[in-house]
Amino acid sequence: MSKLKQKLAEKIPASRERISKLVKNHGKVKVDEVTIAQIYGGMRGLKSLSTDISYLDPEEGIRFRGYTIPECLEKLPRAEGAEMPYVEGHFYLLLTGDIPTQEDIEDVLEEFRARRRVPQYVFDLLRAMPRDAHPMSMFSAAVVAMQRESVFVKRYNAGMTKMDYWDPMYEDAVNLLAKLPEIAAYIYRMKYKGDTPIASDPNLDFGANFAHMMGIDHPYDEISRLYFILHSDHESGNVSAHTTHLVATALSDAYYSFAAGLNGLAGPLHGLANQEVLRWVQNLMSKMDKTPTREDLKKYVWDTLNSGQVIPGYGHAVLRKTDPRYTAQREFALKHLPDDDIFKVVSMLYEVVPPILKEHGKAKNPWPNVDAHSGVIQWHYGVKEYDFYTVMFGVGRAIGVLSNIIWDRINGQALERPKSLTTAMLEEIARQNS
Ligand code: HAX
């Protein structure tokens, strides 16, 4: 058993006991009530999920296992001379709740190295798809194709006790995660760079190897590490995390579950928003022969709103402040690309958009989210193919959602199956309560 898996195994009895006591002694305690507006409004704010891996405070933003983003970036181990921490260390934190030591990191790096080889049939499948297929459909297809590798399915079919479900889920999750950077970079080089994939370098860590296989020099390795860490998790209710979790509750394996989550991430209100931001900014810039002024930006923002569209990269279903994931990327940009023209516009938008959204009066949160910043940095380092941005989001998101479904198996998560009512039943409930 690997040291990471051993560490996880040690945490299992206490977690199981804690949850079983909570349900046994307080199972009837009410946490929340559901309103008709919530049923029709996407269950916004409804407290009905549990995870210890991350928590999204509306005012403060995300905490991973209790640590803010600046704390994670400071405390997690990094390679000698590197600016950003190892992605592998972040996975260790999300999975176990502990900050790894340098020695722990060596073990996890080795474990990922041992599991990273992508089966040839995945490349064959990608090559058989139409070259103009969306890279997210390629990514999702590659993940689901590997379902035949599932250790969970083999062990389940052979017969195992519920108590052991977490073990093969761990195997599947880490096997899958270790392969994602190569699959993503392969799609990129095949689709956009004249079909010139670059072989994986086993001596490099998750983020640096991705940058290497993308064919982009330092500091792209740093932004890759940062990007994957920032996009890893946003508690359980967002579409990609919730879908992965939901599908896993049917005892579907990690491949089926994560592929489903990726399909949700591909929606324009979720992961696809990062490409919308850049498209929207560049659309303005292409119409002007000078750098836009604040007044130009104000007019553009109002024109967008008045034409019934949303301002991409602004607003959030839970957050009510500037997203700390936006701030972390902004700090990186201020250090590494302060003179980039698009970054200057993105910076100006940070001043211009919030007061306008407040005046407009609809969005509950006028502040930027993670997607308002990611595209500009990718563009700066030469990743100019918007469609690909969500694939990178997906690589990062895997770290959180796969950790979550391992814990679902540990804690014996039941099949998720809420109850639905007809419109007439809801009208009757409304009548009785009015
Ligand atoms: N521009 C204009 N109007 C906005 C807005 C924005 N950026 N954000 C919200 N609104 C509008 C909504 O469309 C809604 O209008 P209607 O009542 O006419 O339907 C109203 O304000 C209330 O919405 P809300 O409660 O504040 O926000 P929601 O929880 O419904 O939606 C979204 C949250 C993130 C989807 C929304 O803010 C949005 O569409 N933003 C732009 C797209 C975007 O940036 N998406 C990425 C989000 C981050 C993420 O998950 N990444 O994966």
**Tens-place pLDDT, residues 347-396:** 999 999 999 999 999 999 999 999 999 999 999 999 999 999 999 999 99
Is the pLDDT at 430 greater than 90? The verdict is yes
Closest residue by Cα to atom 29, ligand 1, is 317
153: how many CB neighbours lie within 10 A of its CB? 18
What is the per-residue pLDDT across 398-414, written as a single tens digit (0 to 9) for each?
Answer: 999 999 999 999 999 99
Q: Cα separation of 319 and 312, whole Å? A: 15
DSSP state of 62: E
Q: Tell me the three-class secondary structure of 235-302, residue by residue.
A: CCCCHHHHHHHHHHHCCCCHHHHHHHHHHHHCCCCCCCHHHHHHHHHHHHHHHCCCCCCHHHHHHHHH
Per the annotation, the verdict on 371 as an active-site residue is yes
Q: Active site residue: 270, 323, 380, 408, which one?
A: 270
User: How many angstroms is it from 315 CA to the middle of ligand 1?
Assistant: 5
**CB of 374 closer than 6 angstroms to any ligand 1 atom:** no
Atom of ligand 1 nearest to the CA of 240: 52
Q: Cα separation of 59 and 13, whole Å? A: 34
> CA of 142: how far to CAs of 38, 120, 129, 354, in Å?
36, 11, 10, 39
CA quadruple 76, 78, 83, 86: dihedral, nearest 10: -80
User: Mean of the pLDDT values across residues 83-98?
Assistant: 98
**CB of 241 closer than 6 angstroms to any ligand 1 atom:** no
Secondary structure (3-state) at 314: strand
The CATH class, in words, for 273-380 is mainly alpha
pLDDT score of 392: 97
User: How many angstroms is it from 125 CA to the middle of ligand 1?
Assistant: 36
Closest residue by Cα to atom 35, ligand 1, is 269
What band does 192 get if pLDDT is binned at 50, 70 and 90?
A: very high
Hey, what amino acid is at 170? Y
What is the per-residue pLDDT across 138-156, written as a single tens digit (0 to 9) for each?
Answer: 999 999 999 999 999 999 9
Is the pLDDT at 290 greater than 90? The verdict is no
Q: Cα separation of 239 and 251, whole Å? A: 19
Closest residue by Cα to atom 32, ligand 1, is 316
User: Is the CA virtual torsion 186, 191, 192, 197 positive or negative?
Assistant: positive
What is the per-residue pLDDT across 296-345, written as a single tens digit (0 to 9) for each?
Answer: 999 999 999 999 999 999 999 899 999 999 999 999 999 999 999 999 99
**CB of 363 closer than 6 angstroms to any ligand 1 atom:** yes
Hey, what amino acid is at 70? P
What is the per-residue pLDDT across 30-72, written as a single tens digit (0 to 9) for each?
Answer: 999 999 999 999 999 999 999 999 999 999 999 999 999 999 9
Q: Cα separation of 426 and 428, whole Å? A: 5
User: Mean of the pLDDT values across residues 282-304?
Assistant: 92
Give me the CATH topology for the region 1-269+399-434: Citrate Synthase; domain 1 (1.10.580)
What band does 273 get if pLDDT is binned at 50, 70 and 90?
A: confident
Atom of ligand 1 nearest to the CA of 234: 50
pLDDT score of 288: 84
User: Mean of the pLDDT values across residues 421-426?
Assistant: 98
Per the annotation, the verdict on 90 as an active-site residue is no
pLDDT score of 275: 85
Alpha helices in 369-422 (DSSP H): 371-380, 389-410
Is the pLDDT at 87 greater than 90? The verdict is yes
Instruction: Answer yes or no: are the C-beta atoms of 356 and 298 closer than 8 Å.
Output: yes
User: Mean of the pLDDT values across residues 165-170?
Assistant: 98
Question: What's the whole-number average pLDDT of the chain?
Answer: 96
Q: Active site residue: 371, 373, 380, 408, which one?
A: 371
Instruction: Answer yes or no: are the C-beta atoms of 101 and 164 closer than 8 Å.
Output: no
Atom of ligand 1 nearest to the CA of 315: 37
Token pair 């977490």 in the structure block, residue: 166
Residue 80's Cα: distance from chain center in Å? 27
Q: Cα separation of 406 and 7, whole Å? A: 14
User: Mean of the pLDDT values across residues 238-251?
Assistant: 98
User: How many angstroms is it from 306 CA to the middle of ligand 1?
Assistant: 15
Hey, what amino acid is at 238? N
Domain chopping of the chain, boundaries: 1-269+399-434, 273-380
User: How many angstroms is it from 310 CA to the middle of ligand 1?
Assistant: 7
**Which residue(s) pair with 56 in the sheet?**
62
431: how many CB neighbours lie within 10 A of its CB? 8
Is the pLDDT at 90 greater than 90? The verdict is yes
Atom of ligand 1 nearest to the CA of 277: 44
Is the pLDDT at 271 greater than 90? The verdict is no
Closest residue by Cα to atom 30, ligand 1, is 317
User: Is the CA virtual torsion 238, 241, 242, 244 positive or negative?
Assistant: positive
Nearest to 230, CA basis, from 134, 325, 319: 325
Instruction: Answer yes or no: are the C-beta atoms of 265 and 390 closer than 8 Å.
Output: yes
Atom of ligand 1 nearest to the CA of 372: 44
Q: Cα separation of 63 and 72, whole Å? A: 9
pLDDT score of 229: 98
Instruction: Sheet containing 67-68: give its strands across.
Output: 54-57, 61-64, 67-68
pLDDT score of 236: 93
User: How many angstroms is it from 269 CA to the middle of ligand 1?
Assistant: 8
Per the annotation, the verdict on 212 as an active-site residue is no
pTM across the whole model: 0.95
Is the pLDDT at 289 greater than 90? The verdict is no
**CB of 311 closer than 6 angstroms to any ligand 1 atom:** yes
Fold: same for 1-269+399-434 and 273-380: no
**CB of 239 closer than 6 angstroms to any ligand 1 atom:** no
Is the pLDDT at 269 greater than 90? The verdict is no
Hey, what amino acid is at 239? V
Token pair 């195994």 in the structure block, residue: 9
Q: Active site residue: 245, 316, 373, 380, which one?
A: 316
pLDDT score of 268: 85
**CB of 219 closer than 6 angstroms to any ligand 1 atom:** no
pLDDT score of 274: 83
Tokens found for residue 47: 């407290």
